[in-house]
Amino acid sequence: INLVFEYKGDDIAEEELQSTKRGLAHAQSLIPGRTAIGLFDAAIYNEHDPVMVANGVASLIDDTGGGSYVLLCPSDDGDSIDDGDDIVALCEELSYLDVAGPTMKSRLVVSAVSDDQVEECLSIGVSKYVVGDASALDRLQAVVAEQGKRLVSRR
């Protein structure tokens, strides 16, 4: 079991942020290494400063000890992420941060939105991706092969 807690940005109510911190810290105490922070709302990518979002995620990790993974998976509800530039910008900012435990790059799990976005994320050092269907998997495999790498599955 992995538990995912959604990070909704730096403009949420303090009470909601504290509730998320308590939940993440409690889950981390019960199942260490099996918690994740998810960034699902497209507004996080479109409307928020990537530096502020990255700092908020790092604070959440530092304050709770949780966040074995950070999921950058914007939903398709309303605002869309067409080319992935906003995801790349957030990946870059997150990758600069130093947090306790594993590196931030090793925690990132990113939606494969476009070939260019995957190429840029690979160059940053992101190695975990989310795909929606077989054609997206084929595109991911082609981009990875162009970079001289290969897909590896865990079972």
What is the reported pLDDT for 107? 96
What is the reported pLDDT for 16? 85
At 71, the amino acid letter reads L
At 90, the amino acid letter reads L
What is the reported pLDDT for 84? 86
Distance CA 95, CA 64 (A): 19
Distance CA 119, CA 147 (A): 8
Stretch (H or E) spanning 71:
strand 69-72
What is the full per-residue pLDDT of the chain (155 aa) written as tens digits? 789 999 988 777 788 888 888 999 999 899 888 999 999 988 898 888 999 999 999 999 999 999 999 999 988 655 566 668 999 999 999 999 999 889 999 999 999 988 999 999 999 999 999 998 898 899 999 999 998 888 887 65
Inter-residue contact 37 to 3 (CB < 8 Å): no
A 10 A CB-CB count for 72 gives: 30
